[in-house]
Structure 1
Amino acid sequence: MVDIVRRKLLQGTALAGGLAAARSLFPAPAIAQIPKGTGEVVVYDGGGSWGEAKRIAYFEPFEKETGIKVIAQPRTDTGAVRASVLAGAPRYDVTILPGGKAPTFERDNLLLPIDYGYFEKADLGAFSPVKVGKFTVPAIIYSLFIAYDASKFASDAPNSWADVWDAQKFAGRRSLMAGTWASDGGTFEAALMADGVDPSKLYPLDWDRAFKSLSRVKPSILKWWNTGAEAPQMIIDKLITAGSAWNGRVSAANEQGAKIGYTWNQGMLQYDTWVVLKGTKNADNAFKFLAFSARAENQAKFAQHILYAPPNSRAFEHVPSERAKLLPTSPEARKLQFVQDYEFWNTVSSNGKANNEIAVAQWERWISGVR
């Protein structure tokens, strides 16, 4: 499942309320309309509640404003996307790539540089904690954090990765994402923090120390999860009491009546990015769409329908405070977390392998008992 950028965060509920009051007294400045166009733009959908949120916040309003038809295409794996570009027939004009994979597309010359001419300057300056890049515009920010059975740990709950590793104090089985997901899974960072490494000093990762730490938690692991739905479901089914999970999955489960606790402490902020694939015949329409999706008001509407944080921090000016506090980049949550270093994960070592590849190779050796 699925790895953006945002603006200055509001400094609390009081300020948010003040801004809301101010907006009711003074009209907001007009947003420059994106020029009308013709034809279409083929955009990655993602499906489910994610696809529905994009339809409401981006696809339909963009069509209404510009006259450009949005063709929503379902998800396909990144290997197939890569192959389509190499074949000269990109599957999408605009797609979303995990932050940890986008650099490989850049390196292999599979993306078009973004034309920022249609973007509002105020929006461009507000992307935080991840900035826009030459080839990338952050699309969503989410957190890989500690989740636990709230009915099991009502008063004293796990609040750090060291607590997750401590199956004696916090009894029960565990689940972490399989290491074959490398940067996406956050398992190596979690292992190092469980061993006492401060988040600010994680990179470059100490592989030996990480695997020694993983060996300590391995006896408690029920399953190394591979899809975002697995971790919360195992907590709901009382198969595990704690582990890693994505905030959006946990929030969705809780909205359906689950009792999954979580902490933002030592959470890992991950992000996905919008990109325009090389070879597209609708590049100008693609850039217009990206400018539309970067607007603060549109990202706020998106966040009302799914709990992925808006990369444009100005969007928080338009998100109700009760909703905002559930988002991983709200001021209170943000200060407890760190952004994963995708530059490290994509650095190529002297053996010609990127750290993402090195992690997978070492994981396979470790899980089979060879390492």
Structure 2
Amino acid sequence: NLDDAPLLAQIKQGRPQCDLINNSMMSHTKYVAQDALETLDRDRLKSVKSAKIPDNQITDHAVGSSFYGACMAYRTDAFGGKKPESWADFWDTGAFQGGRSMCNPDGDLPELEFALLADGVPMDKLYPLDVDRAFKVLTRLRGDIKKYWDSGPLPGVLLSRQEVTMSTVWDGRIADLEKQGVPVERQLNGMRRQFQGYAIAKGAANADAAYQLMDFSLRAESQAALAKAFPSNPSSPLAYAKLTEDERNALAGAPKYYDKGFDTDIDWWLKNESAVTKRWLEWARG
């Protein structure tokens, strides 16, 4: 995880130690507010067009290169052959018995969206989030949440040890467990996507090189090559055609899954993150 403070201090002094920054699009937006990123010259990034990067992942200061999805994972041996299909099932501890795990704000944004989806809010009507309603729904599950996870591997550990039967998880974290023979699967319905991307530090000493590397990294071929080595979901829809069917369908970004998920509304979270986190911490203490 990138610690923002030292880098922002270097940029303010006009001496950034790095040129190209790979960070969440939400963090890039925070950097823009601190005047810490170069305004991008789109003509120097030919691959943005050729890779067909989605418009909503192109800003004046950053371009989205991949996303990770928060979704649910469950033990396939826990529910007598039944499979949870939705967040409503995650909340249904009668039909799907056993403990749950959800993330702590140290791990990711509080999972208000999942509570609202469980309560019947349509995916395209989530934002602006109804915070009061979300906490009401979370409270219904609070007694069944055995642990709040704060790091990527923890949901897998809890599921492996059978401490919980279902957990929220980052989508790429389940594949290794499946390879080890742990009876777990992910459900991508209602997945929350958050994009990562590239930006150039304000005052970068090697701006030309940064542009070249960014242009190369955003190519569909480059994104596909990365996805073969690491469970990262390319932002370029063309990258998926360059993968085998098995490689493609292992990724939450595959065309067949894409419409099952939604993009995090960064602007909403930037305005509300600190208030929601404070309320979440009070709520979790009960």
TM-score by length of 1: 0.73
Letter in 2 for 1:89: R
- 2:138 matches 1:138: no
Q: Is the 8 A contact 1:297 1:318 kept in 2?
A: yes
CA contact under 8 A between 1:143 and 1:247: conserved in structure 2?
yes
| Equivalent AA in structure 2 for residue 334 of structure 1 | Y
Contact 2:53-2:237 at 8 Å conserved across structures: yes
Partner of 1:165: 91
**Which residue, 278, 281, 284 being the options, matches 1:361?**
278
Contact kept, 8 Å, 1:309 with 1:327, in 2: the verdict is yes
The answer to whether structure 1 residue 88 and structure 2 residue 14 are counterparts is yes
Q: Pairwise mapping of residues 346-357 of structure 1 onto structure 2 (< 5 A)?
A: 346=270, 354-357=271-274
SS at match of 2:229: coil
> CA separation of 1:91/1:232 partners in 2, compared to 1, >3 Å: closer, same or farther?
farther
Would you say the 8 A contact 1:116–1:287 is kept in 2? no
The answer to whether the aligner puts 1:211 opposite 2:135 as a matched pair is: yes
Q: CA deviation at 1:129?
A: 7.1
Mapped to 2, the partners of 1:132 and 1:124 lie a distance apart of 13
Counterpart mapping for 1:97-116 below 5 A: 97-116=23-42
RMSD: 1.9
Tell me the CA shift for residue 267 of structure 1. Answer: 0.9
SS in 2 for 1:90: coil
Partner of 1:227: 151
My pick for the range that moved more, 95-104 or 194-203, is: 95-104
Q: CA separation in 2, counterparts of 1:274 and 1:254?
A: 31
Counterpart pick for 1:255 among 175, 179, 188:
179
Where 1:101 maps in the other structure, the secondary structure is helix
**Per-residue deviation at 1:99?**
2.4
By how many angstroms is 1:124 displaced? 4.9
Give the Å deviation of 1:336: 1.0
SS of equivalent to 2:147: strand
Give 1:153's aligned residue.
79
Structure 1 CA distance, aligned partners of 2:265 and 2:50?
A: 21
Q: For 2:242, which of 313, 318, 326 is the aligned residue? A: 318
**Secondary structure of the corresponding residue to residue 185 of structure 1:** coil
- In the alignment, residue 112 of structure 2 is paired with which amino acid? F
Q: Does 1:289 align with 2:210?
A: no
CA shift, 1:274, in A, is: 1.1
Give the Cα separation in 1 of the matches to 2:174 and 2:282.
31
Residue 84 (structure 1) shift: 3.0
The separation in 2 between residues aligned to 1:180 and 1:76, in whole angstroms, is: 13
Are the equivalent residues in 1 in contact too, given 2:51–2:218 (CA < 8 A)? no
Q: Secondary structure at the match of 1:100?
A: helix
Cα deviation, residue 154, structure 1 = 5.5
Does 1:246 pair with 2:163? no
- The share of aligned pairs that are identical, in percent, is 28
Secondary structure, in 3 states, of the residue corresponding to 2:233?
coil
Identify the match of residue 117 of structure 1 among 43, 66, 69.
43
- Give the whole-Å Cα distance in 2 for the aligned partners of 1:154 and 1:288: 53
Q: In the comparison of the two structures, how many residue pairs are matched?
A: 286
Q: Which amino acid aligns with 2:273?
A: N
* Shift in Å, 1:278: 1.2
Which residue pairs with 2:231 in the alignment? 307
Deviation at 1:125?
5.9
8 Å Cα contact 1:146-1:159 kept in structure 2: no
Unaligned runs of 5+ in 1: 1-74, 347-353
Q: For 2:199, what is the secondary structure of its paired residue?
A: strand
Give how far 1:209 is off. 0.6
Post-superposition CA distance 1:209-253 (Å, at most 9, x none): 111111111100111110011011110111110020011111232
Counterparts of 1:208 and 1:180, CA distance in 2: 21
CA distance in 2, matches of 1:339, 1:83: 31
Structure 2 distance, partners of 1:287, 1:345, is 29
Aligned-partner residue type, residue 85 of structure 1: I
The CA distance in 2 between the partners of 1:315 and 1:283, in whole Å, is 26
User: 2-side partners of 1:180 and 1:301: how far apart?
Assistant: 31
